[in-house]
Amino acid sequence: MQTNLETLSQLERRLTMAVPAQDIDKEIGERLKKLSRTVRMHGFRPGKVPLKIVAQQYGPQVRSEVIGDAVQKAFDRAVEENKLRVAGNPRIEPNVGEDAAQLSFAATFEVYPELKLGDISAVAIEKPVLAVSEADVDKTLEVLRKQRVTYELAGRAAQAQDRVTVDFTGRIDGTEFAGGKGSDMPVVLGEGRMLADFESNITGMPAGESKTFDVKFPDNYGNKDLAGKVASFEVKASKVESPVLPALDAEFAKALGVADGDTVKMRAEVRANVEREVKRRVEADIKQKAMQALLDSTQLELPKSLVAIEMQRLVQSTRADLEARGVKMDQLPINPELFEAQAKRRVGLGLIIGELVNAKALAPKDEQIRALVEDYAQSYEQPVEMVRWLYSEQQRLAEFEGLAIESNVVAWVLENAKVEEKAVSFDEFMNKAAA
């Protein structure tokens, strides 16, 4: 087999190869003979179909398969001989030449970059430090109460936090517009689901009152047909209800899963849950900073083919997620370029982490993976059975192996970078993490 390797750019290569045509013809003949012994064709007994007829019927298909196999085999051999690390899928095209004795083709592809890990010893990573106070537990309990709010007729004009049921019709220049009409629409004042001017105008309305007022849509409103325009709304309030929050009593404790209704135990469990969430968000914050430190400190040219593959993977994941939520995607294409930045980050981190794991011996230990699996299984009714199921197929452990690798990488970064602790307030950190 003849080969010629060209360097087109820092990462792009072209491999030209030629395979003797007689080898192709020989393999085609052998496959057709083998096929003739098993093929079934009307008018002939099994195994008795003439080779010429088999060739007429299946020759093009067999030839295509043989050429494909020969090209792949030749490519794999050339890659191995030249010690190339191919990134992504090669683009293989036939070479049209005068030499009929050779099957010539060219494979254009990218190789993995030579990666030199950056020095992160001078990188400063800020580690948030916060403790959960009794006031934070009180705020969490208040949120839980609001999640279980009920409403009762108010017998007065609407005020903040009330639920007002309205009928409304909106018009722009005297014409009703799509989405501008509603019937028996509940509006919780202060929740922000309606435009602020709309809510402010129905505040103070008692049940049974009607009024007309103007509302200007923001210039950056999501619906471009309405952005910046002024609409006139006719609104009637049919019901005004005030919120009723549940008391912090035994019934509330039971609703939160405390079987005996012990409010002291309820408070302790809420605190434990909040502390776990704080720990999780602190770890996520540090992980993000550690990964960014690796990206910022390492100069790396990314193979375009790997970025393109990752973009398509993100498109498919987004499509599957939207379809699972009931969104019909048949007529809604997703532009892969929307995910380019995210794909580049993922590919870059993947290359850096792979190199780091090999260079610094950061491969996960079996006990690390086991601990992650067992922790995950605790959320199921039968954790032992879940652990057994996960270990029954190696591929099911891939996610946990990935998490263990990331944990080892983050630990290595924190050991080698400059970690600076910074005290932050509970509200500041939790609101930032949620955003």
End-to-end CA distance of the chain: 59
pLDDT in tens, 118-127: 899 989 999 9
pLDDT in tens, 260-316: 999 999 999 999 999 999 999 999 999 999 999 999 999 899 999 999 999 999 999
- Residue 36: give the domain boundaries: 2-111
pLDDT in tens, 354-393: 999 999 999 999 999 999 999 899 888 899 999 999 999 9
With respect to residue 288, please indicate whether it lies within any of the assigned structural domains. yes
Backbone torsions φ then ψ of 42, nearest 5 degrees: -55, 130
Confidence of residue 140 (pLDDT cuts 50, 70, 90): very high
With respect to residue 310, please indicate whether it lies within any of the assigned structural domains. yes
Average model confidence (pLDDT) across the chain: 91
Q: Based on the domain organization, do 107 and 37 belong to the same domain?
A: yes
Kindly state the DSSP code that residue 11 receives in the 8-state scheme: S
Q: Based on the domain organization, do 229 and 304 belong to the same domain?
A: no
State yes or no: pLDDT of 332 exceeds 90: no
With respect to residue 141, please indicate whether it lies within any of the assigned structural domains. no
Q: How far apart are CA 390 and CA 395, in angstroms?
A: 9
Q: Based on the domain organization, do 92 and 163 belong to the same domain?
A: no
Specify the amino acid at residue 392.
Answer: S
Quote the number of domains for the chain. Answer: 3
With respect to residue 132, please indicate whether it lies within any of the assigned structural domains. no
Q: Which of 177, 212, 244 is the last residue of a domain?
A: 244
State yes or no: pLDDT of 100 exceeds 80: no
With respect to residue 291, please indicate whether it lies within any of the assigned structural domains. yes
Q: Based on the domain organization, do 213 and 273 belong to the same domain?
A: no
Sign of the C-alpha dihedral computed for residues 411, 413, 419 and 423 taken in this order:
negative
Q: How far apart are CA 281 and CA 71, in angstroms?
A: 51
State yes or no: pLDDT of 434 exceeds 70: no
* CATH number of the CATH domain containing 170: 3.10.50.40
With respect to residue 134, please indicate whether it lies within any of the assigned structural domains. no
Query: Phi-psi category of 161—alpha, beta or left, where left has phi over 0 and alpha has psi -120 to 50?
Result: left
Specify the amino acid at residue 25.
Answer: D
Q: Please give the sequence-ordered ranges of beta strands (E in DSSP) within 62-193, or none if there are none.
A: 86-94, 102-111, 124-129, 150-153, 163-172, 175-188
DSSP state letters, 14-56: EEEEEEEHHHHHHHHHHHHHHHHTT---TTS-TT-S-HHHHHH
